[in-house]
Chain A
Amino acid sequence: MDSRVRVNPAGTPESQTTEGGSNGLSLYVHIPFCETKCHYCDFNTYAGIEALIPGYLSALETEIRFWGRGLSRPKVSTVFFGGGTPSYVPIEGIEAICAAIFEAFDVDDGAEVTLESNPGDYSRHDLTRYIGAGINRLSIGVQSLDDGLLKSLSRRHDAETAIGAYQSARQAGFENINLDLMFGLSGQTIEQWRDSVACVIALRPEHLSLYALTLEPGTPLDAMVKSGEVADPDPDLAADMYLYAESALGDAGFDHYEISNWSLPDRESRHNLAYWLNAPYLGVGPGAHSYLPNRRFAALRSPRRYVDLFGGVLPEGDPVEALSSLRILESVEPVTATMELADTMMMGMRLSRGIRTDEFLARFGTDISDVFGPLIDELSGMGLLVSDEVGIRLSDSGHLLGNEVFERFVTASAEANLPGNY
């Protein structure tokens, strides 16, 4: 375990432990617009509904203010603009949303405020205005630094544009930048991957997300693979690529702190850590998910309906109940103790810090070994898990087989006996 990882465990809503000062909500802001939709993408995002953008931004503002009131201007430690492509909407819109957030929520001084962006959008914007709006972290969807692969991914930028975008973000003053890359792509060779990894190392961003291509059911790419039009990605080659990146990034001083994420010291994505630590978060926008004490819920997916419904009168009272009554929120799911346990394990085991014994005890009121003792022994015996007095975490070889471990913990959680107050 790497001692450089000093995250702020957000803990449970009831027992918020503070290690680094921030212990507020994480706020996710969804921007469901893209210039074109990538064929592997199954996110709730749309191309060709640009006419909706102005109305959407004002509905979003309404929702932000609604939650600010409903939750009595709660503390917020991280904000994340995701999508979709947040950089695709006019910068004035982002400025207005940011202003609404700072007004409606008690945003920490040192809050991490991230915006996802597409390299192709950079030339249109004065990036300093993002900084002026309060955004202090940029995530750039580079995906690949091979033009052929970018084309086959139906991305609209080339490698040069991506590098240029990174440099202009630096020039504008961003000191915390993430680059997204994909591997395990159809037709991608290990050599191409090595080149891309070498190139991003040379750029030295603070953070890197390297995602294995996943065939999501219902996407055009999934259909293309099923029909044989595109070769099925080779999982062994993807494993080789992953291991190569792990070693190269380690040598370059990056900390592999989550299955698909690397960062320079102290530059982990604090927003995403909140998810992995199973801490509360609020999502705004259509299809956005939230986790507030004892319940998870998600908003309706249609941007158009979303705009319509937020244009109407919003009831007072408990905000979750109010939005449910309008059918803005769908699937409000009570989180039982065993579900919280399953989620905590499934998400937490993704981190290289794993699950800490003391945090587990504080959260669930019992020792992790009392709940999962035999399973931990079994998985350790299989070489998938490392267990010591600090906690449990995936072994190096367990990284690539995480699902085998998560699955066991999820199953065992459903049958776990937790102490009284749970």
Chain B
Amino acid sequence: MDLSHIRNFCIIAHIDHGKSTLADRLMQATGAVSDRELTAQHLDSMDLERERGITIKAQAVRLGYTGADKSEYQLNLIDTPGHVDFTYEVSRSLAASDGALLVVDATQGIQAQTLANVYLAMEYDLPIIPVVNKIDLPAAEPERVASEMASVFGFSDDEFVFVSAKTGEGVVEILEAIVDRVSPPKGDPDAPLRALIFDSKYDSYKGVIAYVRAVDGRLDRTGPIRLMATGATAEALEIGYFGPAMTSEESLETGEVGYVATGLKDVAACRVGDTVTIGGPSNADPLPGYEPMKPMVYTGLYPADGESFPELRDALDKLRLNDPALSFEPESSAALGFGFRCGFLGLLHMDVTQERLEREYDLTLIATAPSVGYKVMLTNGGEVEVDNPSAMPPVQEIDKIHEPWVDLSIVAPSRHIGAVMELVTSRRGEYTRMEYLQSVDSNREDSSSSAAADARVLLEYKMPMAELLVDFHSQLKSRSQGYASMDYSICESRPGDMVKLDVLVNYTPVDALSMMLHRDNAQGQGRELVSKLKKLIPRQMFEVPIQSAIGSRVVARETVKAMRKNVLAKCYGGDVTRKRKLLEKQAKGKKRMKKIGSVDVPQEAFMAVLSLERD
């Protein structure tokens, strides 16, 4: 299609602000799906995405639209993953777009993540169409939210589109705004092919399917294709677009968005951000912005029964087919047996992956304490990356430890500022700045104290990423009565006074329970760990000391008293079979426990300790 009739746009929204419902409406209004086909939220295809109200995999739908000017337009809706862990994917979706819809919930206003994504879109110089959604709700305050958006981002009043994705009100206005305000693609149809990969998925028949935007040139099936960053070459087995079903075509022309089936067996060869060009020698330069994905959070995943290791491996292999960001390698723990050290983009990525493994693959897992990657400077001048506490070099060999820090932004009503401050400070956060998202005096006739308390504030901090890992988000939610939202991005690496806290059961270190902590938190955490373990480790035939220690220094100790009595009081003729079975069961129960030295520790103890929440 003629470039001037193509519009490539994406939708930016906070979780639950109605992005998927709006996308469904747009598909319906343009006839891409019939009313009958419209299952709520067409774009989020994973159950988990639907349940959590988030989008993990981006998608792209082509909409045919006849504008008010009677011209035919090809609108390509490029979905963006809706979570902080997937910032890089969001940036690639933005890079593939020429404009963005910014959807904000009329009952909620701007959230932390909205800000982050809008700033990202502004970096790409994309025209942004501000959309105030859910205007049908009784609690909606479209004017207030619009004025907040105007004051934060500098929109003018006539730019806003007010819609209800639920009722369909305002949807046509959005389509018109897209035609009017989103720029047509710029690209050179005569240049060598350069197509940007903004997502990929694995199909067992067609191999890896790359979601692409043809930036320059033409993508067709006349020859092999090459992926410039990974160097992989492939056949373009099938080319087409999502309508929303996969619809094959002869080619993708400059500016168009669609897919190419590559037949590749490994998604790792087809990375988000890479450039597709024609096979053989080419003088095309790769498109800018490619970054290899780097895990930020690590955890050890172990089958709880100690026996499902092969099943866990298969499940991880399968998940990775569609999730190149997931990294894993086998590791073994003296306490937990065989498992995998897994790397994730962030906490949500970790949670979702773990949940999918348990739900879709029916595995019961034990996850060790999540860890960030530390840069450890050694006294001998060397430097190592350590993402697993048990791999930490001995204390005497460590010169310095650097840990990743994040820029943390939190949006909350001003009455919760104190609680947020307190939380962040207790997690070693450093205050950067604060901004009222809306001038209280100019927007409210009464500048009463309640209005001031309702005013929403953006708080920015720098904080060690490790502090985010344990329970930060749920603490933020509970301390702000659910009103605060947060976003973070990695900003730097700083030296930190980190120590490894070990747990010893009967003087045997339990590798799976080791964790990296700031020295100031180590003692408290150590005490909590041993007191929790004391309650969970059954009495043995001998006294079992439980200690937590930093290096050789014990910081807390508890003792599980020796078992004194375990004997059947009665055993007569009627009991023989039953009691024999009881004893067999007791023996089996012990067999299921993990042996730490000579101590039998039930699975539940690990699970409970590792789900340790911080106060």
Binding site for B on A (CB under 8 A): 26, 28, 211-214, 235-236, 238-239, 242, 259-260, 272, 274-276, 281, 283, 287-291, 296, 298, 331, 333, 339, 342-343, 346-347, 350, 382, 384, 399-404, 406-408, 410-411, 414
Q: Is the CB of A404 within 8 A of B568?
A: no
Q: Is the CB of A411 within 8 A of B587?
A: yes
B68 within 8 A of A: no
Interface centre among B561, B568, B576, B586, by most chain A C-beta atoms within 10 angstroms, is B576
Residues of A within 8 A of B580 (CB): 339, 342-343, 346, 410
B598 nearest CB neighbor, chain A only = A382
Residues of A within 8 A of B567 (CB): 212, 259, 399-403
A413 nearest CB neighbor, chain B only = B580
Q: Is the CB of B576 within 8 A of A291?
A: yes
- Known contacts: A275-B572, A283-B573. The answer to whether A410 contacts B565 by CB under 8 A is no
Q: Is the CB of A382 within 8 A of B586?
A: no
Contact of A212 among B565, B577, B583 (CB under 8 A): B565
Q: Is the CB of B570 within 8 A of A275?
A: no
Q: Is the CB of A235 within 8 A of B565?
A: yes
A406 nearest CB neighbor, chain B only = B583
Cα A414 to Cα B561 in complex, Å, equals 32
Interface centre among B541, B570, B574, by most chain A C-beta atoms within 10 angstroms, is B574
Residues of B within 8 A of A287 (CB): 574
Residues of B within 8 A of A290 (CB): 573
Cα A402 to Cα B243 in complex, Å, equals 72
Cβ-Cβ contact count across A and B, 8 Å cutoff: 102
Residues of B within 8 A of A406 (CB): 568, 583
Binding site for A on B (CB under 8 A): 541, 561, 563-574, 576-577, 579-580, 583-584, 586-587, 590
A260 nearest CB neighbor, chain B only = B569
Q: Is the CB of A291 within 8 A of B573?
A: yes
Q: Is the CB of B565 within 8 A of A401?
A: yes
Q: Is the CB of B541 within 8 A of A214?
A: no
Residues of A within 8 A of B577 (CB): 289, 296, 331, 333
B561 nearest CB neighbor, chain A only = A236
Residues of B within 8 A of A404 (CB): 541, 566
- Known contacts: A407-B583, A407-B586, A407-B587. The answer to whether A289 contacts B576 by CB under 8 A is yes
Residues of A within 8 A of B586 (CB): 403, 407
A259 nearest CB neighbor, chain B only = B567
Give me 16 A-to-B residue pairs in the complex whose CB atoms sit less than 8 angstroms apart, sorted by A's number. Answer: A211-B569, A212-B565, A214-B568, A259-B569, A260-B570, A275-B576, A283-B573, A289-B574, A289-B577, A333-B577, A343-B580, A346-B576, A399-B567, A400-B566, A402-B566, A410-B580
Cα A28 to Cα B572 in complex, Å, equals 11
Q: Is the CB of B574 within 8 A of A236?
A: no
Cα A290 to Cα B567 in complex, Å, equals 24
Cα A213 to Cα B580 in complex, Å, equals 20
Cα A8 to Cα B570 in complex, Å, equals 21
Q: Is the CB of A238 within 8 A of B574?
A: no
B366 to chain A, nearest CB (A): 26
Q: Is the CB of A211 within 8 A of B564?
A: no
Contact of A403 among B561, B568, B572, B574 (CB under 8 A): B568
Contact of B565 among A238, A339, A346 (CB under 8 A): A238
Q: Is the CB of B568 within 8 A of A281?
A: no
Cα A199 to Cα B186 in complex, Å, equals 103
Sorted from nearest, which 9 A-B pairs have the closest CB atoms? A402-B567, A239-B564, A239-B565, A289-B574, A212-B569, A211-B569, A410-B583, A403-B566, A407-B583
Q: Is the CB of B573 within 8 A of A411?
A: no
A261 nearest CB neighbor, chain B only = B570
Q: Is the CB of A235 within 8 A of B564?
A: yes
A408 to chain B, nearest CB (A): 8
Q: Is the CB of B565 within 8 A of A236?
A: yes
Contact of A402 among B568, B576, B584, B590 (CB under 8 A): B568
Cα A26 to Cα B563 in complex, Å, equals 36
Cα A16 to Cα B584 in complex, Å, equals 29
Cα A102 to Cα B564 in complex, Å, equals 46
Residues of A within 8 A of B561 (CB): 236
Residues of B within 8 A of A402 (CB): 566-568
Cα A215 to Cα B574 in complex, Å, equals 17
Q: Is the CB of A346 within 8 A of B579?
A: yes
Cα A50 to Cα B570 in complex, Å, equals 28
Q: Is the CB of B587 within 8 A of A236?
A: no
Residues of B within 8 A of A414 (CB): 584
With A235-B564, A275-B571, A343-B576 given, can you name 14 additional A-B contacts, CB distance below 8 Å?
A236-B565, A259-B567, A288-B574, A291-B573, A331-B577, A347-B576, A382-B541, A400-B564, A400-B565, A400-B566, A402-B567, A407-B587, A407-B590, A414-B584
